[in-house]
A and B are shown apart, each in its own frame.
Chain A
Amino acid sequence: FLAGFGSLMQDVLWCFSQVKGTIDIGVTEADIISTVEFNHTGELLATGDKGGRVVIFQREQESKNQPHRRGEYNVYSTFQSHEPEFDYLKSLEIEEKINKIRWLPQQNAAYFLLSTNDKTVKLWKVSERDKRPEGYNLKDEDGRLRDPSMITMLRVPVLRPMDLMVEATPRRVFANAHTYHINSISVNSDYETYMSADDLRINLWNFEITNQSFNIVDIKPANMEELTEVITAAEFHPHHCNTFVYSSSKGTIRLCDMRTAALCDRHAKFFEEPEDPSNRSFFSEIISSISDVKFSHSGRYIMTRDYLTVKVWDLNMENRPIETYQVHDYLRSKLCSLYENDCIFDKFECVWNGSDSVIMTGSYNNFFRMFDRNTKRDVTLEASRENSKPRAILKPRKVCVGGKRRKDEISVDSLDFSKKILHTAWHPSENIIAVAATNNLYIFQDKVN
């Protein structure tokens, strides 16, 4: 790891690096970014949007001539992953919005990723072509067949270089396995299987088999009138291929072991924090609903995001989290308004940095927050075009809760709730982060000294 990497907030100054997307005031809904994910080396950065498209950026090689430009990300491939569909039986549209992208570890020259919408998961192969064969005997360079009687000698076709072409091809389509909306996909550490989770069920797939999947979790009640809880997120353990977790709308996390039973309806561990009676309100359950769950890289901890907080749990302690971080507690007194305008149902994601020492999550007004687990310091930064000068250092932002507002602070009532940072990603080993702000993708890096 780089020296001083991510461990002390005061050492890290975040700078603007790049922004992708248009500056237009009116946002085309299809361009809204719905997922962001680095691959395992950080060389590639993928985004999915509401229009069903996937855009992959590749980091350029660092050049000695321009040491300040620490490897910029440029478009590598763009393809239409999912199309809108129509369920004729229910008379309902199936959105093409990409809910999640997950990369497979690289095993050969090609890159593989999983992308999913509400109903269908697809495995995409992204490969480069920089040579083409020339000198066929039976056809000429345009592909037209040559008259055999005109051929007087044989030659061996040779591969000649061509302009680099990046192709994306769908290699597998995993369909018709989910009645409800898929919210998560997770690649297993065995690299042979993966899971897809919807509101009520989790299915286990083998990458090679598309017409079958195993149902490993089913929380659909026999009597649907009794439905009070849904699955909100799920993830495999990074090292133990038999272990996974899933979170619920009631603020609970269940850890399951696939070795114990085929249907993992009985959890091995159950994580839930007892409710604070002094904070109880009609909105308590809604704000306790977990919108994202992520294992640490070490596999020792899980992080959960609910509406107002991020929590870190030790796998060995089920009765409460070991750390709780307030993301935007000033919203607690506004819950009724946020319920009315539906913001209370926004699903924020959360991410670990490469060393599990810093965690990051988004908020409103294009703010995003980082929490250093060691120093307990936190910072609020903003993704905005105003701070978009190359290598400009991001200035910490502050929300004024009451009383006198200082010059650079913003009051709670001035926050723009339409600008929400739901999706962020952190490079696996460096201090590079990608932040999706509606239709723009911001890339920030730490300051190069």
Chain B
Amino acid sequence: MFVRGLKRKCFDGEEDIEGTLAGIKAIPSYNLQRQSLLDMSLVKLQLCHMLVEPNLCRSVLIANTVRQIQEEMTQDGTWQMINTQSTGQASLDRLVSTDILCRSSREQAEGKHVPSYGTFSKDFEGDQGQDNSETMSTASSVQAPRTLQSNVWEMENPQENKGNFQKSLDQIFETLENKSPNSVEDLFSEVDNSYYDLDTMLTGMMSNTKMGHCDGLETFSSPTNTASNSNCKSDLNELDHIVEILVES
């Protein structure tokens, strides 16, 4: 299974970019495009938590897309592939692929990439400094995919990379849970379950996708690294426990 539409764009991009854009070294691969789609989807899920009341159909469809990508990435062993790329170039590749995915072929041909890259990466760096103290943690959540990517690429030990990746994802999911309006009080109060369905569902969705990650980690983990894996597993178990309480109450 492959994303035919995306691949076509990739080819279009190659033909148009080669001649017109000097300085862009990398041509986005399918994996990078898929990674961009995953990041975009995670951002969308977080953004929809900020809305008045999230559209459940949209959330479910996006969550299913995330799950699909993760399953595929787990199946084709992409975790290991990520580690083989060098740091700087890989980051740039990721920006390239996101941009190409979202532009029409006409814009690509007109070579509008170069100036926008500068602003794109600058915006990211700007945000990174600002949002540590923010309670509305969307910006930091958007940051999380990027920082965890660079963490992944910088670390030498592949097993540690996966541990970091999982922990950073945990951060995203935590911010998701804290974003929903009454989540903290709701965890410990005794009110009719149906009111928390939305929160439960959103938490549950994240738990589910997390399980996907953990399953993937398990297949690649070596015996020496059971410590870090069990750390992330215990985090998950705790969350599942809380969710169970919510669902049963």
Contacts and interface: CB of A to CB of B under 8 A. Distances in A.
Interface string A199-243: 110000000000000000000101111111110100000000000
B55 A181 contact: yes
Given A181-B53, A229-B60, A280-B1, A90 B181 contact: yes
Contact of A179 (B58, B182, B197): B197
A413 B104 CA distance: 7
Given A220-B197, A282-B69, A337-B102, A289 B52 contact: no
A342 B5 CA distance: 17
B56 interface: yes
A249 B104 contact: no
Interface residues of B, number: 44
A90 B182 contact: yes
Chain A interface size band reads: 35 or more
Interface string A315-341: 000000000000000001111110110
Interface stretch (B13-21, B77-85, B199-207): B199-207
Interface string A383-412: 000000000000000000000000000000
B232 interface: no
A333 to B, nearest CB: 5
Interface in B41-78: 44, 52-53, 55-58, 60-61, 63-65, 68-69
A191 interface: no
Contacts of A314: none
A339 B52 CA distance: 21
| B60, B104, B243, B247 pick with most chain A CB within 10 angstroms | B60
Given A179-B194, A282-B69, A285-B68, A91 B201 contact: no
B4 A279 contact: yes
Given A286-B65, A333-B5, A337-B104, A232 B195 contact: no
B40 A339 contact: yes
Contacts of B44: 342
Contact of A282 (B3, B57, B181): B3
B205 A227 contact: yes
Given A333-B9, A342-B44, A345-B61, 17 more contacts: A89-B191, A90-B53, A90-B182, A92-B53, A179-B197, A225-B243, A226-B204, A279-B4, A281-B5, A281-B6, A282-B65, A283-B5, A336-B37, A339-B37, A340-B101, A342-B58, A345-B55
